[in-house]
C-alpha cells in the first residue's frame, strides 16, 4: 500500500508561481508539499526566461567585441583578430547559471520548511493525488491545493519539433553549434528575442509571421525601432506568410531543412539549417487528472476559471500563473503564488493589479505598462501624451542606447493628469520598468513625476522628461 502524506497545502508545479507559493506557505508555518516532475524553477528558470537572457547577453557581448575588430575600431578600442564563438561553451555557461538558480530554489524551499517531492502528480479527486517518484508511489491528501502547472510550447501538427532540425525554444537554447541559416516561424516575443540573439552571433535569420506585423500586441510606433534594427542587420521578415510544412533533406552533415510557406497566394520554399517554431504556448491542463477535480474552465476553454483571489469553483482549490489565464508571465505567477499562500493562512488579499509589465528583450528592448494611447482612447479617455527620445538623454548616448531610435512615452488622462500607461523602447530600457509600474500602482499624477528629482546622468531622466513633455515644458526637447 502506498504511503499517504497529509498536508495543509499541496502545490502542483515548482515554477515561478508554485515555488514562490511553496516558500511563502512554509514561511507562514503551514505544512506544505510541492510536487514537480522536472527541475524546480519551471519553464522560466530552466528553459525560458533565464537561459534565453543569458544567450541574449552573450550575443550582445559577441557583437560588441566584433565592432572593435573593424578597420578603425570603436570607441578608440580595437582588437587585431575576430572573436571566436564556441556555441557548446556558451550553452555550458548558460547551463551553469540555470543549475545555480535551480539549486538556489530547492534550498529556499527546504529552508522555508516546504517539502519538495520529485515526480508526476495524478489527481483522483479535488484534493487527493498519487505521485510517481523515483522511490515509489506517494499518495498525498491536502486541505488546500494550488494548481501551478504552467504552460508548454505549442507544436504545429504538420511540423512537429524533433529538437534536431525543427526546434522549439528549448532546442534553440541547447544548440551545440551555430546554424548558418535559421527560419523562425512566429514573429512573437520568443521568436524575435532568439532571432536577435542568433543574428548577433552570426546566423542568417528569416522570420515567417502569419499576421500583418511582428509583435502585433504593440502599436506601430513602439515596434518601429525593432523593425528598423532587424532590417539593418539583415533579418528578413515575411508577414502575412503561413508556414505549410518542413522536410529534412540530404544526408549526413549536408542535411538541410526545406521550409514551405504561403505568401501572396503562392507557396514558396526556403532552405535552412534549423527551423525554430515559436507560435505560442498553451496551459498545461491535460494528462494529470484535472477533469477529476471538478474545476470549471473559462469561456475560452483553455484556462481554469478563477476569481480575484485565484479561487476556483471548488472550495480550497486555487489556480495561479499560466494555467489561470493571460497574461502568461512569470512575474504574474509569482505574485499570485505569494498572495494565495497568504489567503490560505488567513490573511486578506486580492489580486487587483493596475499594471503588469510586459517586456520584450529584443534589440532594442520594449516595455509596456498600463494602457497604450489607442487602448486609452478605446476606453473613452481624453488623453495627453508625452514622448521623449533617448537621443536627447546624456546617459543613453554614453551607452550608445540612442542608436536604436528609442523613446519613452507616457499616456495620461487630460482632465486630472492621472498616468494611465507608459511605453518605452530602446537598448537597456527594461530596467526602468520598476519606476513605470510604481507610478501606475501608486496612482501617480504627471505632476508627481515632474516634481521628483531624478539622478543625473541616468536613463531614468528620460521618463522625467517625457512627463514634462506631456505638461508642455520638457527641458531637453523642443
> At what angle are helices 460-470 and 433-441 packed, to 10 degrees?
40
Closest CA to 190 of 30, 312, 330, 94: 330
- Sorted by sequence, the CB contacts under 8 Å of residue 89 that are 6+ apart come out as none
Closest CA to 182 of 89, 257, 279, 86: 257
* Integer Cα distance of 93 and 90 in angstroms: 5
What DSSP letter does each residue of 315-326 carry, written as one string?
TTEEE-GGGG-S
Under a CB-based contact definition with an 8 Å cutoff, are residues 358 and 444 in contact? no
How many H-runs (helices) and E-runs (strands) does the chain carry? Answer: 13, 22
DSSP single-letter state for residue 295: P
* Integer Cα distance of 85 and 428 in angstroms: 24
Whole-angstrom Cα Rg for the chain:
24
Please indicate whether residue 456 is annotated as part of the active site: yes
* Integer Cα distance of 179 and 255 in angstroms: 12
Catalytic residue among 68, 238, 456, 476: 456
Compute how many other C-beta atoms are within 10 angstroms of the C-beta atom of residue 77: 10
Longest dimension (CA), the chain: 77
* Integer Cα distance of 256 and 269 in angstroms: 12
**Helix (H/G/I), strand (E/B), else coil: 402:** helix
Under a CB-based contact definition with an 8 Å cutoff, are residues 370 and 362 in contact? no
Ramachandran angles phi, psi of 282, nearest 5°? -125, 145
**Helix (H/G/I), strand (E/B), else coil: 247:** strand
Under a CB-based contact definition with an 8 Å cutoff, are residues 385 and 453 in contact? no
Q: Which residues are catalytic?
A: 456
Amino acid at each position: 500500500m502506498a504511503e499517504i502524506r497529509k498536508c495543509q497545502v499541496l502545490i502542483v508545479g515548482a515554477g515561478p508561481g508554485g515555488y514562490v507559493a511553496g516558500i511563502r506557505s512554509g514561511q507562514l508555518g503551514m505544512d506544505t508539499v510541492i510536487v514537480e516532475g522536472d527541475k524546480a524553477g519551471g519553464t522560466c528558470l530552466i528553459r525560458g526566461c533565464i537561459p534565453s537572457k543569458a544567450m541574449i547577453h552573450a550575443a550582445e557581448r559577441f557583437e560588441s567585441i566584433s565592432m572593435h575588430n573593424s578597420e578603425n575600431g570603436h570607441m578608440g578600442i580595437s582588437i587585431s583578430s575576430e572573436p571566436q564563438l564556441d556555441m557548446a561553451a556558451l550553452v555550458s555557461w548558460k547551463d551553469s547559471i540555470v543549475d545555480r538558480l535551480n539549486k538556489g530554489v530547492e534550498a529556499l524551499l527546504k529552508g522555508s520548511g516546504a517539502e519538495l517531492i520529485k515526480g508526476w502528480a495524478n489527481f483522483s479527486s479535488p484534493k487527493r493525488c498519487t505521485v510517481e517518484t523515483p522511490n515509489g508511489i506517494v499518495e498525498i491528501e491536502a486541505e488546500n491545493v494550488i494548481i501551478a502547472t504552467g504552460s508548454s510550447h505549442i507544436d504545429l501538427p504538420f511540423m512537429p519539433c524533433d529538437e534536431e532540425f525543427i526546434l522549439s525554444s528549448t532546442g534553440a537554447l541547447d544548440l551545440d553549434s551555430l546554424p548558418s541559416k535559421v527560419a523562425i516561424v512566429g514573429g512573437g516575443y520568443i521568436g524575435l528575442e532568439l532571432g536577435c540573439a542568433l543574428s548577433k552571433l552570426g546566423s542568417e535569420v528569416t522570420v515567417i509571421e502569419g499576421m500583418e506585423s511582428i509583435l502585433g500586441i504593440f502599436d506601430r510606433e513602439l515596434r518601429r525601432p525593432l523593425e528598423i534594427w532587424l532590417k539593418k542587420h539583415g533579418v528578413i521578415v515575411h508577414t502575412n506568410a503561413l508556414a505549410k510544412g518542413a522536410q529534412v533533406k540530404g544526408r549526413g552533415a549536408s542535411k538541410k531543412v526545406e521550409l514551405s510557406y504561403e505568401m501572396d497566394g503562392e507557396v514558396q520554399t526556403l532552405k535552412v539549417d534549423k527551423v525554430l517554431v515559436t507560435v505560442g504556448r498553451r496551459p498545461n491542463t491535460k494528462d494529470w487528472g484535472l477533469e477529476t477535480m471538478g474545476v470549471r474552465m473559462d469561456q475560452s476553454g483553455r484556462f481554469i476559471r478563477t476569481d480575484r483571489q485565484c479561487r476556483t469553483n471548488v472550495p480550497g482549490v486555487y489556480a495561479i500563473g499560466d494555467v489561470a489565464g493571460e497574461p502568461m508571465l512569470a512575474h504574474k505567477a509569482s505574485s499570485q503564488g505569494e498572495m494565495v499562500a497568504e489567503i490560505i493562512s488567513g490573511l486578506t488579499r486580492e489580486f487587483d493589479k493596475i499594471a503588469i509589465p510586459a517586456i520584450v528583450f529584443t534589440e532594442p528592448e520594449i516595455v509596456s505598462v498600463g494602457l497604450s494611447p489607442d487602448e486609452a482612447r478605446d476606453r473613452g479617455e481624453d488623453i495627453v501624451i508625452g514622448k521623449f527620445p533617448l537621443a536627447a538623454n546624456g546617459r543613453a548616448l554614453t551607452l550608445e542606447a540612442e542608436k536604436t531610435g528609442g523613446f519613452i512615452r507616457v499616456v495620461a488622462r487630460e482632465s486630472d493628469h492621472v498616468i494611465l500607461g507608459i511605453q518605452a523602447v530602446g537598448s537597456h530600457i527594461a530596467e526602468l520598468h520598476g519606476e513605470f509600474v510604481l507610478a501606475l500602482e501608486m496612482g501617480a499624477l504627471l505632476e508627481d513625476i515632474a516634481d521628483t528629482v531624478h539622478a543625473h546622468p541616468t536613463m531614468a531622466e528620460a521618463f522625467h522628461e517625457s512627463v514634462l513633455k506631456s505638461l508642455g515644458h520638457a527641458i531637453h526637447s523642443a
